[in-house]
Amino acid sequence: MSYILYSLSLTFLIVATVLWFTRQRWVHLVPVPGYIYERLPSTFAGDIEAGFSSNAFDLSSNLAAGDSRAGLDAASKREIRKIMKKRKVNFDEARRIFTEQSFAKNNIGPDGRPRDPKFVSFS
């Protein structure tokens, strides 16, 4: 009985390892529903179409200038998209909330000044 369990475990381990190392060949064939996996655009044109542009944050100038960069940061876009869906706000408000959250994580106040008690500023 233990021989069968050992054989099944070893076979599973070998198959899982082979699948892991060859995933680039077959992973695109796996059907994934759209609500589980939402692909964010990776160009400025795609960012504009996805709603990551506004009058205050205009990406059309980047597009018109032929900017060769890959677009906005994917992790930031993902977080901003979550804020837009969760709080039902527009892009500008979600970007403001995201920036304030990023400031708070780095111990910076909403006004842009560090919260460090040892901070000295001469202005």
pLDDT reported for residue 41 = 65
The pTM of the full predicted model, rounded to 2 decimals, is: 0.57
Is position 116 within any domain? no
14/41 same-domain check: no
Q: Please report which confidence band the pLDDT of residue 36 belongs to, taking 50, 70 and 90 as the band edges.
A: low
Domain count of the chain? 2
What would the pLDDT profile of 38-51 be if each residue is shown by its tens digit?
Answer: 666 677 777 777 77
In terms of residue numbers, what domain contains 92?
Answer: 31-105
47/61 same-domain check: yes
86/67 same-domain check: yes
Is position 55 within any domain? yes
Of residues 119, 95, 96, the one with CA closest to residue 107: 119
Q: Please report which confidence band the pLDDT of residue 14 belongs to, taking 50, 70 and 90 as the band edges.
A: very high
pLDDT reported for residue 33 = 65
99/43 same-domain check: yes
What would the pLDDT profile of 86-118 be if each residue is shown by its tens digit?
Answer: 898 988 899 899 989 998 888 888 887 888 888
What tokens does 80 get? 């901003």
5/61 same-domain check: no
What tokens does 95 get? 């970007």
Is position 114 within any domain? no
92/51 same-domain check: yes
pLDDT reported for residue 75 = 80
Residues 97/98/103/109 CA torsion (nearest 10 deg)? 0
Is position 45 within any domain? yes
Is position 6 within any domain? yes
